[in-house]
Amino acid sequence: MLRLLSLLVMLACCPPSSLSGQTKEHARGEGEWGSVAGRVVFDGELDQPALKPYRQDERLIIDAKTRGIKNAIVYLKSKPDRVHSSFATDKPPKSAKLVCRDGQFFPRAMILQVGQPLLLVSEETDGVAHFKSEFIHITNFNVIVQRQKPVEWTPPGFEGTVVPCPIKSGIQHAAIAWCLVMDHPYGVVTESDGSFRLNNLPVGKHELVVWHEAVGYVSRKVIINVKPDRVGELDPQRITVQDLDSVQP
């Protein structure tokens, strides 16, 4: 009898609609998100002759101590059903910047969100750099960028193909960068030690892609299982000399 009276008092103070709202709020919050981390590494001796041209022109930047590979692009193949509120914004994404300096582009690899402007900047001593952006499914964009006169470019749309594509210079032929345009925020570029981490992923299974300019796809399909409030450690994603053999230097 006392238990019944207690239940009636609780229902009177907290209507079912209120209890349902609290349950839904909890479901949307704690326990729904997790992270994954890993590294992209070179598997083999660093003094192999086949590596020399790749390391000379910086297509393949390997940390001598950790064997980590810089500038690999790691991303979810497709947009998940839910995106964490930390990525949500009502404002357009801030401009990213690509600088041409000393015959090279900086950064070498980058990720843009759909609708995010890219600021093309020349810091060459001759004052002029020619950018030629060749994105798949986007009309080629050609422009002369003068020193101290940046030019802004915004990807015109997204057609569902998520593949990094080159940005080339028509004057500095060694200058090349790789840009991935995505419709979601779950993508990163590896650090100098080859490390990466994707935060605030929705709990559940997802398909991860690992790509690098020297070999193309390092891994086309890595299945990750995101656990609530945990950082899952992935096996190292490896590049070997044999992977380089199939790519034209």
Tokens 């802004």 map to which residue? 152
**Position 223 pLDDT exceeds 90:** yes
Which of the pair, 217 or 9, is modelled with greater confidence? 217
Query: So what's the architecture of 33-83+184-249 in CATH?
Result: Sandwich (2.60)
* Range 47-85 burial, b when 16+ CB lie within 10 A, else e: eeeebeebeeeebbbbbeeebbbbbbbbbbeeeeeeeee
**Domain layout of the chain by residue ranges:** 1-30, 33-83+184-249
pLDDT 10s digits, 54-88: 999 999 999 999 999 999 999 999 999 999 999 87
The helix/strand/coil state of 245 is: helix
Backbone angles phi, psi at 111, to 5 degrees: -125, 135
Is the separation of the CB atoms in 203 and 228 below 8 Å? yes
pLDDT 10s digits, 150-162: 888 887 666 556 7
**Position 182 pLDDT exceeds 80:** yes
How far is residue 96's CA from residue 102's CA, in Å, rounded to a whole number?
20
pLDDT band with cut points at 50, 70 and 90 for residue 20: very low
How far is residue 57's CA from residue 231's CA, in Å, rounded to a whole number?
35
pTM above 0.75, yes or no: yes
What is the predicted pLDDT for the residue at 162?
74
What is the predicted pLDDT for the residue at 156?
67
